[in-house]
A and B are shown apart, each in its own frame.
Chain A
Amino acid sequence: MKELLDQLIALAVEKVPLLGQAPDWVFYLLWMLVAGAALLVYASLIAGITSWVERRIAGRMQARIGPNRVGPRGFFQWIADGLKSLFKEDVTPANADKPLFRLAPYLVFTGMFGAWAVLPYSARLYAADLNVGILYVMAITSLVVIGILMGGWASGNKWGLFGALRSSAQIVSYEVPAGLAIATAVALSGSLSLQEMVRAQAGPLGILGWNIFKSPFALVAFFVYFIAAVAEGNRTPFDLPEAESELVAGYNTEYSGMRFVFFFFAEWANLFLIGAVSTTLFLGGWQGPLANPDTWWGVMIGAGWFFLKACFFVFVLIWIRWTLPRLRVDQLMAMCWKYLVPIAFVCLIGTMLWMSVFGDRAFFGLVAVGP
């Protein structure tokens, strides 16, 4: 995408000579604005459509219909809902800490959306390839916790406060197994940059080089990461922060109108984010049959693989949500600290030992790869 942009800039400078005198940072600023706007549209589309998909799948799983009135099979329901929320009254409770109450949804939204900037949608299609990519994803998503805490506290409502406390305790706890599982993938790929991690997973047939197939420990680490990511996303079976039966709606109880939508936008955008990061770390990102970073059609097929894999995870997440019951708080914490964290440590150390024995051989050490 960067090369394409450079060509465009060269063309623009050729047509309008005056542009040639503009300093470099003007172009960088423009580039960032364009990339940001494109990503925002993409994320909004995905979050919106996911909201409709989730409600339809939920309906199917519970033997009811779900939204099917607006447009073909109810496809435009998400647009109708968005418009409706825009026109709804934005209520701020009298008891609330008003500036913090207003700020909180934006923080949640920014934290979730910031991570989209580094996702490797394809070999050439990404907004930024940071050298510390995966660390950046972990760091910027911690804004979500801050936003949830802020919103829950500023509501001046006990349900909100309880939801916020539960949510942040949960997210901070599950950050540990998630981080260890990510470290396993980083050790296998030898880089923190998401693009480099995907490139390191090239292999025969396009799938045998995936990190998940590199060692049995990585296979376990993948499931550890996925469970921890579900918990960090506050999704069922870990949706204690918004447990309807005990907390009304948790941290977003007092929110209405567009601010409420921001929280849910973040939740649905997070589904795709979990899928995209799991894919990048363990399932080869845009690697797949026929994907090739050197030809333009190979790049497009790679983008298709990435999207398909991420969407598969979105479906699994929805499936899990409408199948499993909710855990208790003590079960949640026991699962994290007594099971996932030790397992993740074993995975990390085991992967390192495995790598020192088998080196970079793919498919559980059976297939030799490498340049």
Chain B
Amino acid sequence: MNLTYLAFVVMSAWVLLAALYVVTTRNVVRAAYGLLAALFGIAGLYVIFAADFLAAVQVLIYVGGVNILIIFGVMLTEHLGRVPFRLVNFNLFPALAACALVAFALVLGVLIYPWPESAASYAPTSARIGQMFLTKYLLPFEVASVLLLVVLIGAVAVARKEVRDE
């Protein structure tokens, strides 16, 4: 058993346990912090797979941005962290259907994609990612940035409306 494999197993276990904690804890704030641990673990997985740029961006965006917003939202709810809520939800069949669909898509993707057989090369990736974005994947890149712009303007519009109503 080589060390990369061991690191992968440990890191995956970490991510799964953290995710499990997020859905089982009754404390909303702690769930938000559990999500933080899971997202950090995913950055660790990226490091193991030699995706250095992706790992840094994962921490920057998900830990430094998205998760902070989630914690913000949770902390501003009433009765901080002591919201009684049921963990078991009875929408069993829609949930099962959604899970099955996602699992099917994932398994199909893993089976179909021609994965490279060689071990990951620990070469810097950021320069190549940049070149790919501006050549082969220019259209998806631009579409994503337009989408983000729309979201930004939408957020401003929503925030402005409240001010005008006062």
Q: Do the beta carbons of B53 and A135 come within 8 Å of each other? A: yes
- Decide: A172 and B63 in contact? CB cutoff 8 A: no
Q: Tell whether B23 is near chain A: CB-to-CB under 8 Å.
A: no
Listed A/B pairs (15) with beta-carbon separation below 8 Å: A97-B30, A100-B30, A132-B124, A138-B60, A142-B59, A142-B65, A145-B64, A146-B67, A149-B71, A153-B75, A153-B80, A161-B80, A165-B75, A168-B71, A175-B64
Q: Which residues from 98 to 133 on chain B have a C-beta closer than 8 Å to any C-beta of chain A?
A: 124-126
- Nearest to A142 among chain B residues (CB) is B64
> How far, in angstroms, from A150 to B75 measured CA to CA in the complex?
10
Asked if B57 is an interface residue, CB under 8 A from chain A, the answer is yes
B75 and A132 form a contact (CB under 8 A): no
Interface of B with A (CB < 8 Å)? Answer: 3, 27, 29-30, 33, 36, 52-53, 55-57, 59-60, 63-65, 67-69, 71-72, 75-76, 80-81, 124-126
Given known A-B contacts A161-B75, A168-B72, A172-B65, A150 and B33 have beta carbons under 8 A apart: yes
In whole angstroms, how far apart are the Cα atoms of A165 and B77 in the complex? 13
Contact of A139 among B36, B64, B80 (CB under 8 A): B64
A153 cross-chain contacts in B, Cβ below 8 A: 29, 71, 75, 80-81
Contact B64 A149 (CB under 8 A): no
- Please name the residue on chain A nearest to B124 by beta carbon: A131
Q: Is the CB of B56 within 8 A of A132?
A: yes
The answer to whether A135 and B60 have CB atoms under 8 Å apart is yes
Shortest beta-carbon distance, A337 to chain B, in Å? 11
With A and B bound together, what is the CA distance between A130 and B47 in angstroms?
Answer: 12
Q: Count of chain A residues with Cβ under 8 Å from any Cβ of B?
A: 26
Residues of A within 8 A of B56 (CB): 132, 135-136, 139
Q: Are B59 and A139 in contact (CB under 8 A)?
A: yes
Q: Quick one: closest A residue to B43, CB to CB? A: A139
Note all chain B residues with C-beta closer than 8 A to A100: 29-30, 33
Inter-chain CA distance A366–B22, complex, in Å, is 58
Which residues from chain A contact B126 at a C-beta distance below 8 Å? 131-132, 192
Q: How far is the CB of A185 from chain B (nearest CB, A)?
A: 15
B81 lies within 8 A of A97 (CB): yes
- Please give, as numbers and ranges, the residues of chain A lying within 8 Å of B75 by CB-CB distance: 149, 153, 161, 164-165
Q: What 0/1 pattern do residues 117 to 151 of A give for CB contact below 8 A with B? A: 00000000000001110011011101101100110
Residues of B within 8 A of A87 (CB): none
* Cβ 8 A contact of A25, one of B3, B81, B124: B3
The residues of A that contact B60 with a CB separation of less than 8 Å are 135, 138-139, 142
Alpha-carbon distance between A25 and B3 when the two chains are bound, in angstroms: 9
Q: Which residue of A lies closest to B40 (CB)?
A: A143
Contacting residues, chain B, for A145 (C-beta < 8 A)? 64, 68
Query: Which residues of chain B are within 8 angstroms of A97 by Cβ–Cβ distance?
Result: 27, 29-30, 81
Q: Which residue of A lies closest to B3 (CB)?
A: A25
Could you tell me which residues of chain A, from 308 to 364, have a CB within 8 Å of some CB in chain B? none
CB atoms of B80 and A142 under 8 A apart: no
Q: Note all chain A residues with C-beta closer than 8 A to B80.
A: 153, 161
Since A131-B124, A135-B57, A172-B65 are in contact, a sample of 10 more A-B pairs with Cβ atoms closer than 8 Å, ordered by chain A residue number, is A100-B30, A131-B52, A132-B52, A139-B60, A139-B64, A142-B64, A149-B71, A164-B75, A168-B72, A172-B69
